[in-house]
Amino acid sequence: MTKTKKSIYSLVLSDDVVEAVDALAASSGLSRSAMVNQLLAERVRCVTPEMRLKSITSAIRSAVGTGFFLTEQPSAATVACRTALKYRYKPTLRYSVEVYGAGSNRAGELKVTVRTQSEQLFADLSGFFTCWTALEQKYIADKLSQDIMFAIEPGRFTRTLNMPPEGISDDQLGQAVADYMAMLDETMKHYFAELPDTARAQRAAERSYSAAIVQQLSLIHI
């Protein structure tokens, strides 16, 4: 998102208006300045970076499929959801997408985490995410920027999301993010269904990935 310049202005306002603005700001978790900025932007139909961020996260939440259960949102910039993994003890996978604000050279970050004490599950998840990043490099390396980042840690996977191409609407971006999450989750399930045979699991993951990636439009560029 484009960074918007901000300046300090002096305004003469009615005390009653300021009191009403402060009450609205408190209920919205915003500062007085941010609330006034939002109200004025809405009135003059000017889309601010904060409004764009809210629009994108709202679009992602609306596009998340039935395979995910939306959970409480940690912040206005984050979409959080969970899904179950068919594995011993049925662990819960938690997905979160953080959308970055103005001034960042990335659109955001996707995280997948699981809480477990099972070293075997840690190892199997690391095996899958290593397989996943290899598939990304094999199939869409020419569409990924050079500074895209993947991080694999015990029980955690992180992937940065770069800026989408020009002309992509917030709804299209939200749908693409949701589709990417669904593709990752479905591929993971195919992988785990073939364990403990790692070779078969990798082949199953590639079949799932290669079939799904052709349906992806905008997100594979970011």
What is the secondary structure of 69-128 as a DSSP string?
EE---SSTTEEEEEEE-SSTT-PEEEEEEEEP-TT-SEEEEEEEEE----HHHHHHHHHH
Q: Is the dihedral of CA 15, 19, 21, 26 positive or negative?
A: positive
Measured CA distances, 209 to 25, 145, 218 (Å) = 45, 20, 16
- One-letter identity of residue 179: D
DSSP state of 164: P
Per-residue confidence (pLDDT) for residue 102, from 0 to 100:
58
User: What confidence score (pLDDT) does residue 2 get?
Assistant: 47
pLDDT value of residue 214: 82
Question: Which residues of the chain are under the pLDDT cut of 70?
Answer: 1-5, 47-50, 101-105, 163-166, 217-222
- Selection from 99, 100, 129, 102 nearest residue 113 by Cα: 129
Q: Are 91 and 85 in contact (CB under 8 A)?
A: yes
Task: Look at residue 162 in the predicted model and tell me its pLDDT.
Answer: 76
According to the CATH classification, is domain 49-221 in 3.30.1460?
yes
State the pLDDT at residue 134: 96
CA distance 11 to 9: 6
- Residue 68: predicted pLDDT: 93
Q: Taking the CA of residue 91 as centre, how many other CA atoms within 13 Å lie in the half-sphere pointing to its CB?
A: 20
Looking at residue 25, its pLDDT comes to 86
Residue spans per domain, the chain: 15-44, 49-221
Q: How far apart are the first and last CA of the chain?
A: 13
pLDDT tens-digit series, residues 79-97? 999 999 989 888 999 999 9
Strand partners, 114: 93
Instruction: State the Cα–Cα distance between residues 176 and 84, nearest whole angstrom.
Output: 22
Helical segments of 100-217, H only: 119-140, 170-193, 198-213
pLDDT of residue 163: 66
